[in-house]
Amino acid sequence: MAPCCSLALLLLCSQALAHSKGMLYPRESASRELKELNGIWSFRADFSQQRNEGFVQQWFRQPLRQNGPVIDMPVPASFNELTQDPALRNYVGWVWYEKEVLLPRSWLLNALRTRVVLRVGSAHYYSIVWVNGVNVTEHEGGHLPFEADISKIVQASSGALCRITIALNNTLTPHTLPPGSIQFMSDSSKYPKGYFVQKTKFDFFNYAGIHRPVVLYTTPTVYIDDINVTTTLKENVGVVRYQVSVVGDINYSLLLTLREKEGDVVTTGHGPSGELKVVKPKLWWPYLMHENPGYLYYLEVKLLAEVGGEPLEDVYTLPVGIRTVYVTSSQFLINGKPFYFHGVNKHEDADIRGKGLDWPLIVKDFNLLRWLGANSFRTSHYPYAEEIMDLCDAYGIVVIDECPAVGMKYEANFGNKSLAHHLVVMEELIRRDKNRPSVVMWSVANEPASELPPAAQYFKTVITHTKAIDPTRPVTFVSNANYAKDRGAPYVDVICVNSYFSWYHDQGHLEVIQLQLKTQFEKWYDHHKKPIIQSEYGADSIPGLHYDPPLMFSEEYHTAVLKEYHSILDKKRKEYVIGELIWNFADFMTDQATTRVLGNKKGIFTRQRQPKAAAFILRDRYWKLANESSCVHSTLKYNNF
């Protein structure tokens, strides 16, 4: 394999980011309108042998129903879970979505002053979008937003009807994130002609569809494109540094107003960049670390310009949390105070919506996190919806924000093509989440084959690039490699380690956990001298299955594994272990396998969000940890939940 052209790729992607558009979350204001397109769309899967009939017949040129039968499909949702057709559940290839909407007349009449944008929160995996039969954008990647300016198309139309067509392909290759491969079965005595399956090396179901909201929104033609905010503390003064990007004209003025949550003005500023100083600021604190966690100020940015001799205004309001993050060789500090991660790993996995955004499920999950006394989670193994991240900001839930680099097990996953895409994904992730106080660390991968020779230069490049874009946050990736053979570990700020002692090996032997976990921590720290998070640990349990003495898959074995881990974690957290994240928050769906009974059962909650015995063990522990490190009377909060 050719060596990675890291410097050239780094320069290329840095230039691309410098010229890329912002990705501000669509918010209504005095100058911006919003139209949600969630609900029922027309849907059709292309079951032709080459999966290309839709392109050959150009399904995007006329309403989808005129090209053949369509079915109703909700957006956002995963199409895999919503019919009784096994062929659609396991479908790999192109599917087609379509929605016809009426646009407000005010959006269409003044092209000189109004800009119309189509935004997709995420669609898995590769998307091509047409509006009224015109190609407007393409996007690779299944977990981050993309958008297109469709003003000229809809404003030139003779009517207000807007037809949106999205072709979506969920095929994974060695160079996608996550990677995969297509395996063709050529034995005609066993498989039909042209038979193939999608192979992956990650342990969750490859849900596909339009997973997050689709919206149309407007801005003025001279508009606020992006806002970048960083915060620091100098004694009793909070400093909010800002940079505002404006598109559409070079002649404009900017007024910035920082308000408290209650609406009182704190300070103001002018111009595209500068500092706002807050005396005795109300800091953004993690949940249970302060009596007022998740405190947010609101930064209103008002743009004034002129179009066609008439004044024009654009207004955007951004939540801002004032906080600092710093890492030493043995501690993780938030606002100068040691922070210990006691939380979970999650999956965006509902019952019938797959990875589709589901507000009742989101609210339930946050209530369960607070019931547990959890202060953090990792977005395993892909970025979560912006709506989830909003609640993390507001509630003070600390986030390790992970990109979808999971299943990188072969040398082919570490080549130049993979690297170039990986850098772009990190750019998109940081562009989306850079202003979030809840995000305290970036994770660039989960359990890659980081012992392979190409991994050293690969992760050096990805981590260096990530730090160049955002120098304010530490960077990690999650490893299950040997401490001495991991070629990416020298470049991270925090060591994240996954281990499943007495589960995937030494099955049933609880007595070896403490020795093996103690050895793991000591070897990693002696070798790298960096703080360590136990980023995954746990065991499968079938709810209601009991056995004593504890046997694997019983709830008793699950709780026994946790207690053995906790014994060593209690010793090492006094030294250099800075966190523990249980695997997993809730049971979730996987591909069918002899080791999985309708999915992964390592959740402390069932997929229906009912607690197993392990949840109560973890709840007792997390509230005790909170009481040790917090200045608030957490026992009172414990009883309230």
Indicate if 447 belongs to the active site. Answer: yes
Is residue 318 within 8 A of residue 351, CB to CB? The reply is no
Q: DSSP letter for 103, please.
A: P
* CA neighbor of 110 nearest in space, from 246, 252, 215, 219: 219
Here the tokens at position 488 are 């990416």
Please state, in angstroms and rounded to a whole number, the distance separating the CA atoms of residues 449 and 408.
Answer: 6
- As a dihedral over the C-alpha atoms of residue 450, residue 452, residue 454, residue 456, rounded to 10 degrees, the angle is 40
- As a dihedral over the C-alpha atoms of residue 197, residue 198, residue 199, residue 203, rounded to 10 degrees, the angle is -120
Please state, in angstroms and rounded to a whole number, the distance separating the CA atoms of residues 396 and 16.
Answer: 33
Please state, in angstroms and rounded to a whole number, the distance separating the CA atoms of residues 523 and 199.
Answer: 34
**Catalytic hit among 81, 348, 427, 447:** 447
Pick left, alpha or beta for residue 352 (phi over 0 → left; psi -120 to 50 → alpha; otherwise beta): alpha
Here the tokens at position 558 are 């699950």
Helix (H, G, I), strand (E, B) or coil at 300: strand
Task: Give me Rg for the CA atoms of the chain.
Answer: 25
Q: Name every residue whose Cβ is closer than 8 Å to that of residue 96 and which is 6 or more positions away in sequence.
A: 43, 44, 45, 46, 54, 59, 64, 165, 166, 167, 168
The dihedrals phi and psi of 104, each to the nearest 5 degrees, come to: -60, 140
Please state, in angstroms and rounded to a whole number, the distance separating the CA atoms of residues 636 and 410.
Answer: 50
Please state, in angstroms and rounded to a whole number, the distance separating the CA atoms of residues 85 and 97.
Answer: 18
Instruction: Report H helices in 451-528.
Output: 455-469, 513-528
- Cβ neighbours of 34 (radius 10 Å): 13
Here the tokens at position 486 are 């991991």
Q: Active-site residues: which are they?
A: 447
